[in-house]
Amino acid sequence: MRRINIGELNINQKPVKEYFSLELFGLVDGSNISLPVALISNQDGPIVTIIAAQHGNEWNGSYVADTLYNSLILDDVVGRIIILPIANPPAFLQKGRVSSFDYIDMNRTFGFVKRRKPTEHLAKIIFEEFVLKSDYLVDLHSGGPGQYLPIVEVYNSKRIDLALSFNLDKAMVVKKDVGSIILNAEKNGVQSFSIEAGRALKINYDYAELLLKGLTNFLKATGVLKSKPVVKENQTLYKGKTVVPSTISGFFKTELKLGQKVKKGDVLAKIKPFFKSEPTEIINTTNGTVIYLRYEELISEGESIVHIAY
Ligand SMILES: [Zn+2]
């Protein structure tokens, strides 16, 4: 792979379809942090940045980003598509949500002044060199100790029409966590979308195919790809979601399935604390649809069991 120093980065070159390793900064031992970047640029038009694996154990996004790069034809592009398939290389190499360099969650670092640790430094470069120069941002994620049905989340409700162009059947306006990339990109006028699909350390190839089609259609909707988008009708637009945390710690069991409709009063899970003979039932308080479900069988008090969209 070609190596380019950050000082020599030029995202305005065109026409070009290439990927390269961007050399960012040195660590204390003299080794370098580098970032894989793909640039597809042709004619004048919007700039779309697609980023995956801020959390290094979320492989669905990296796989989809890679597949998307290979599927794009330069002649179809009117503008620039920037793909960062592995936004957090140290965490990706360690197959962890965060890296052991500093244990910092990259998607909680945006918008803060403090920039001391490698993950913060990396995030700052990604934000300044790519996100702030973009018209649109797509940030790809998967679940951690649980699994998501594919869903588009936006922070700004004006983005709903474009969110539906992903054709994932589910979209929602959410309050994103402080420090998240889409919240801070929106504050800077970049139209931003976050996609959740599947679970960590797994590639769900069915979801990946859905996401690839969805991303391609979204790129058409932004105008950066030439052909006309086709937006599915009757998609579900959720008003919000209830995240149900566990009230106790212990061994976790559930009979729920992803996509299942649940009612108030339903048993969501049973959790048996250590050295107690009987489990405690977690009772539902929201009517809605299960869009995220825990599979990890150990749970600590406060960790989430299920997300119910309504
Ligand atoms: Zn994530």
pLDDT digits (tens, 9 = 90+) for 63-85: 999 999 999 999 999 999 999 99
- C-alpha 230 to ligand 1 mean position (Å): 28
In the chain, which residues fall in CATH 3.40.630.10? Answer: 2-236
Q: How far is CA 236 from the centre of its chain?
A: 20
Q: Give the pLDDT score at 110.
A: 95
Mean residue pLDDT of the chain comes to 96
- C-alpha 113 to ligand 1 mean position (Å): 22
Q: What is the mean pLDDT of residues 171-180?
A: 88
pLDDT, tens digit (0-9, with 9 covering 90-100), for 12-29? 999 999 999 999 999 989
- C-alpha 58 to ligand 1 mean position (Å): 6
- From 80, 95, 146, select the one nearest 304 (Cα to Cα): 146
Nearest-10 Cα torsion for 199, 203, 207, 213: 130
Question: Is 272 a residue whose pLDDT tops 80?
Answer: yes
Helix (H) or strand (E) holding 18: strand 16-26
In the chain, which residues fall in CATH 2.40.50.100? Answer: 239-309
Q: Give the pLDDT score at 298.
A: 97
Question: Is 90 a residue whose pLDDT tops 80?
Answer: yes
- C-alpha 13 to ligand 1 mean position (Å): 31
How far apart, in whole angstroms, are the C-alpha atoms of residue 182 and residue 176? 8
183 Cβ neighbours under 8 A, 6+ residues apart: 110, 111, 155, 176, 177, 192
Return the CATH architecture of domain 2-236.
3-Layer(aba) Sandwich (3.40)
Q: Give the pLDDT score at 175.
A: 82
For 203-237, the DSSP string reads --HHHHHHHHHHHHHHHHHHTSBSSPP-PPSS-EE
Q: Give the pLDDT score at 4.
A: 97
Kindly state the DSSP code that residue 77 receives in the 8-state scheme: B
- C-alpha 53 to ligand 1 mean position (Å): 7
- C-alpha 98 to ligand 1 mean position (Å): 10
- C-alpha 194 to ligand 1 mean position (Å): 9
Query: How many other C-beta atoms can be found within 10 angstroms of the C-beta atom of residue 66?
Result: 18
Q: What is the mean pLDDT of residues 135-158?
A: 96
How far apart, in whole angstroms, are the C-alpha atoms of residue 61 and residue 165? 18
Question: Is 171 a residue whose pLDDT tops 90?
Answer: yes
Q: Give the pLDDT score at 116.
A: 84
Q: Are strands 146-154 and 79-84 parallel, antiparallel or unpaired?
A: unpaired
- For 13, the token pair is 């070159």
Q: What is the mean pLDDT of residues 38-46?
A: 97
Q: What is the mean pLDDT of residues 229-256?
A: 96
- C-alpha 57 to ligand 1 mean position (Å): 8
- C-alpha 266 to ligand 1 mean position (Å): 29
Return the CATH architecture of domain 239-309.
Beta Barrel (2.40)
Q: Give the pLDDT score at 20.
A: 98
- C-alpha 64 to ligand 1 mean position (Å): 14
How far apart, in whole angstroms, are the C-alpha atoms of residue 37 and residue 121? 17
pLDDT, tens digit (0-9, with 9 covering 90-100), for 248-259? 999 999 999 999
